[in-house]
Amino acid sequence: MKKQHIIEKIEKLKKKRNAVILVHNYQIGEVQAIGDFLGDSLGLSRKAAATDADVIVFCGVHFMVETASILAPEKTVLIPDPEAGCPMADMIDADRLRKVKAAHPGAVVVAYVNSSAEVKAETDICCTSANAAEVVASIPPGKDIIFVPDQYLGSFVVRKTGRQLILYPGYCPVHRKLLPEDILRQKESHPDAVVMVHPECTPDVIELADEVLSTSGMERLAAASKKEEFIVGTEVDMVTRLRRDNPSKSFYPASDRIVCPNMKKITLEKVLWSLEENKFEVRVPDEIRKKAKRAVDAMVATG
């Protein structure tokens, strides 16, 4: 089927079903182009909570779709490919978190939104890369804080807030591929460029950055900055979005190897099938959902 034909069918079905398409910034360009809203984890969670659509087609990875379902249980929440997961989120489960909690009784648990609903149900407050420091800073001083699962986002929050955190050894295998040498090489070719990186990068990469931002933070900085050139240390399709929205500015991926294979599983065809066949529905069992919702609501309200 021709691309234009697929897009027309998606548009028609969207109206018929009163559906909204939420798209994460790491999606391929043609999926970005059909999104009603394009954003980072925090922005898309807020959209999911606020929309009056009956159906949400979420082009992102599983934890994002699950979070939308936690926030909007009365809606049909669909993921176009059920295999689109997040290996960092899979590095911790509820059992492992309960063991960490047992070793630190009384500690407040902060979970990065890149985690399962079961982990969120064991959590006091969730955060995203856009508000992790604010979430940690909102916890009364003197409290022990467990931070799961991303050790690098956690270390960045320690640096930003001065608070001590009990870290868990999770990480994003995609961002971990970005090396200081990649940044240094790009800096040599583009000495005037602003270096912006995602806080999932390792501390030695973060050390070399001018700005450490969530994906929507990068979008806002690029639009507002007087600078013309940017080195982008995150998933390569972030550059697709930045180039499209800022055609007069130049964006260079810090490395072409920073590709999240799970984000790339969503295609235009799968979005169409999702709307046609009402699949794949993501729903969180009520008992887990109610517990997880408190932590997610607190996240959405912060920052």
Q: For binding to ligand 13P (CB under 6 A), which residues are involved? A: 25, 40-41, 114, 128-129, 172, 198, 200, 214-215
Among ligand 13P, ligand SF4, none, residue 6 binds (CB under 5-8 Å by kind): none
Task: Report the partner that residue 274 touches, choosing among ligand SF4, ligand 13P, none (CB closer than 5 to 8 A by kind).
Answer: none
Instruction: Return the one option of ligand 13P, ligand SF4, none that residue 25 interacts with (CB less than 5 to 8 A, by type).
Output: ligand 13P
Amino acid at 169: P
182 binds ligand SF4 (CB under 6 A): no
Choose between 129 and 275: whose C-beta lies nearer to ligand 13P.
Answer: 129
Site for ligand SF4 contains 246 (CB under 6 A) = no
Among 78, 92, 167, 172, binds ligand SF4 (CB under 6 A): 172
Q: Kindly state the helix (H) or strand (E) to which residue 217 belongs, with its residue range.
A: helix 215-224
Structure tokens at 82: 């059920």
Q: Which does 120 bind (CB under 5 to 8 A by kind): ligand SF4, ligand 13P, none?
A: none
Listed as own residue / partner, the contacts of 45-51 with beta carbons closer than 8 Å and 24 or more positions apart are 45/71, 45/113, 45/128, 45/296, 45/299, 45/300, 46/300, 47/20, 47/22, 48/22, 48/72, 48/75, 48/77, 49/300, 51/20, 51/75
Q: Residue 13 carries which side chain, given as an amino acid letter?
A: L
- To the nearest whole angstrom, how small is the minimum distance from the Cβ of residue 88 to ligand 13P? 8
Considering the rule CB under 6 A, would residue 114 count as an interface residue with ligand SF4?
yes
Q: What are phi and psi of 109, to 5 degrees?
A: -105, 120
* Backbone φ and ψ of 51, nearest 5°: -70, 150
Let me know the angle formed at the C-alpha of 177 by 171 and 179, rounded to the nearest 5 degrees: 115
Q: What are phi and psi of 164, to 5 degrees?
A: -85, 140
Q: What CA–CA distance (Å, rounded) separates 241 from 220? A: 12
**Residue 192: CB minimum distance to ligand 13P, A:** 25
**Least separation in angstroms between CB 194 and ligand SF4:** 21
Choosing among ligand 13P, ligand SF4, none, which partner's interface includes residue 41 (Cβ < 5 to 8 Å by kind)?
ligand 13P
Binding site for ligand SF4 (CB under 6 A): 61, 86-88, 114, 172, 174-175, 200, 235, 260, 262-263
